[in-house]
């Protein structure tokens, strides 16, 4: 995978996260409303009538805040600063309603006593809710806002004239157990230890959740990168080799020599087809040609080396040799020939020209390894075996065969225990670059078509 492909994939993931963030804002508005309904029921039950009615308008405001954010995002204001305002507005509104005097309540609670009512716990809802936005910064900001607002509230209430002075640790140590219990139960005294612990927990909780969001995003990016690599591998290798390559560290960087079967396939009548088809139809034909043959190739554990314009090159036994490479190559050639026959029947029914192809296969030693640089690598298969296979394919036209295989491949098929009943001897033929003639075996053409 090239650096460009990786950057492009990351940009697509960033866009996907932004889309999911917008969707989460919409869902968060509904979830917020459901949570407010639950809290509203509890508030009514806890405070009774008519005192509980005082809090209903404030709860409605909380619900409206969620839908305001949703509206802003739907109008294109999908910015982090909008999300950053949510905990600030929520926190201020929450403190206002928590410490406001309830006119329906007979009791006149001192401000300090409100710290005993669990108001601080509601900030954890804000922090947990921020993970819906999939942005670590928003989560950390929500925790920081919660800590700042709660700290400011503690300081403000402690500065009220009705608040007794803070007790030092030395003073606390000098008190009796009874005096300590009386101090803890003093409705005008703030438990500073609990307040500080709450602030620390806000920060720790937001940090943990932000780390969770960060790691989750990283996991998604790594998974997507792995899937891109697997997809790229699947374009060239059969499915059973993709896992092996994906789980190996640099399996092909060291060049090696091994025995493989090499196949070349070429459309015979491509010139005539290209003269009668427009560019779009020609590309569509090539795509279907490649799709049909590639499916057969991968089904027989072959490796697609490259497309050659109007044909392809494939190998069997790369990147790792197998026990039936030559047999798989021969079976692939026969299956490709049969598939082209079926396709031509479909084309004939539509009144279009048939597509004829020559297939040449050879077995022998090749050099296998990666070539290229860090931005782009290709699996290269080099050697005389490749050249011979290519020239055998070219001979299919002059020898009037659909498939031609070298004697080396046929002998290897017999060694593997495979059959070659479909092949007939084609005699020995001189091949450019070879001193000795090569014995060929083949399957004659099903129909005659000049190219």
Residues 197 and 288 in one domain: no
**CA-based angle 158:163:167, to the nearest 5?**
80
Looking at the domain assignment, is residue 60 inside a domain?
yes
Residues 172 and 296 in one domain: no
Residues 165 and 256 in one domain: no
In total, how many domains does the chain have? 2
Burial class (CB in 10 A: 0-12, 13-18, 19+), 33: middle
Question: Which ranges of 235-324 would DSSP assign to H, the alpha helix?
Answer: 239-246, 270-276, 279-299
pLDDT tens, position by position, 319-343? 888 899 999 999 999 999 999 999 9
Per-residue confidence (pLDDT) for residue 426, from 0 to 100: 86
Share of the chain above pLDDT 90, in %: 25
Residues 228 and 256 in one domain: no
Nearest to 250 by CA among 365, 367, 369, 366: 369
pLDDT band at 40 (very low <50, low <70, confident <90, very high): confident
Q: Which H helix or E strand runs over 384?
A: helix 384-398
pLDDT band at 1 (very low <50, low <70, confident <90, very high): very low
Tokens of residue 3, six digits? 């650096």
Looking at the domain assignment, is residue 257 inside a domain?
yes
* pLDDT at 224 > cutoff 90: no
pTM metric for this prediction: 0.54
Strand partners, 303: 315
Which 3 state secondary structure label does DSSP give 259? Answer: strand
Stretch 100-104: mean pLDDT, rounded?
69
User: Looking up tokens 């905990």, which residue turns up?
Assistant: 87
pLDDT band at 105 (very low <50, low <70, confident <90, very high): low
Q: What is the CB neighbour count within 10 angstroms for residue 146?
A: 30
Stretch 228-257: mean pLDDT, rounded?
64
Residue where a domain stops, chosen among 199, 232, 265:
232
pLDDT tens, position by position, 135-193? 888 889 989 998 998 888 888 888 888 777 777 777 777 778 887 787 777 777 777 88
CA 298 to chain CA centroid, nearest Å: 24
Structural domain including 267 reads 251-444
* pLDDT at 409 > cutoff 80: yes
Per-residue confidence (pLDDT) for residue 232, from 0 to 100: 65
Per-residue confidence (pLDDT) for residue 450, from 0 to 100: 38
d(C-alpha 408, C-alpha 366), whole Å: 14
CATH number at residue 415: 3.30.70.1230
Per-residue confidence (pLDDT) for residue 5, from 0 to 100: 44
């Amino acid at each position: 995978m090239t650096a460009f492909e990786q950057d492009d994939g990351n940009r697509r993931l960033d866009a996907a996260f932004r889309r999911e963030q917008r969707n989460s804002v919409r869902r968060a508005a509904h979830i917020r409303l459901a949570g407010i309904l639950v809290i509203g029921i509890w508030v009514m039950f806890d405070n009774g009538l008519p005192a509980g009615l005082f809090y209903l308008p404030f709860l409605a405001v909380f619900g409206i805040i969620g839908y305001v954010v949703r509206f802003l995002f739907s109008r294109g204001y999908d910015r982090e600063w909008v999300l950053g305002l949510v905990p600030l507005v929520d926190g201020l509104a929450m403190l206002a309603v928590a410490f406001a005097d309830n006119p329906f309540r007979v009791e006149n609670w001192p401000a300090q006593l409100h710290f005993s009512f669990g108001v601080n716990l509601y900030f954890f809802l804000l922090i947990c809710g921020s993970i819906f936005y999939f942005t670590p910064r928003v989560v950390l900001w929500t925790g920081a806002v919660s800590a700042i607002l709660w700290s400011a509230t503690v300081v403000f209430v402690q500065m009220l004239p009705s608040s007794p002075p803070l007790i030092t640790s030395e003073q606390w140590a000098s008190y009796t157990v009874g005096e300590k219990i009386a101090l803890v139960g003093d409705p005008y005294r703030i438990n500073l230890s609990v307040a500080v612990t709450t602030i620390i927990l806000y920060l720790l909780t937001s940090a943990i959740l932000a780390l969770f969001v960060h790691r989750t995003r990283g996991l998604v990016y790594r998974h997507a990168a792995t899937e891109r690599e697997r997809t790229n591998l699947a374009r060239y290798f059969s499915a059973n080799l993709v896992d092996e390559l994906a789980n190996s560290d640099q399996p092909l960087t060291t060049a090696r020599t091994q025995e493989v079967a090499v196949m070349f396939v070429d459309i015979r009548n491509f010139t005539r087809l290209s003269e009668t088809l427009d560019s779009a139809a020609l590309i569509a034909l090539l795509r279907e040609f490649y799709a049909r043959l590639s499916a057969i190739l991968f089904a027989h554990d072959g490796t697609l080396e490259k497309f050659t314009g109007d044909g392809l090159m494939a190998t069997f036994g790369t990147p790792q040799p197998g026990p039936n490479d030559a047999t798989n190559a021969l079976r692939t050639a026969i299956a490709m020939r049969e598939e082209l026959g079926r396709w031509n029947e479909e084309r004939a029914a539509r009144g279009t020209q048939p597509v004829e192809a020559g297939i040449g296969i050879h077995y022998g030693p090749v050099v296998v390894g990666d070539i290229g640089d860090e931005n782009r690598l290709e699996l290269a298969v080099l050697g005389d075996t490749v050249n011979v296979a290519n020239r055998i394919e070219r001979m299919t036209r002059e020898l009037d065969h659909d498939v031609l295989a070298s004697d080396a491949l046929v002998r290897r098929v017999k060694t593997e225990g495979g059959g070659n009943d479909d092949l007939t001897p084609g005699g020995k033929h001189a091949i450019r670059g070879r001193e000795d003639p090569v014995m060929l075996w083949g399957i004659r053409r099903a129909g005659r078509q000049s190219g």
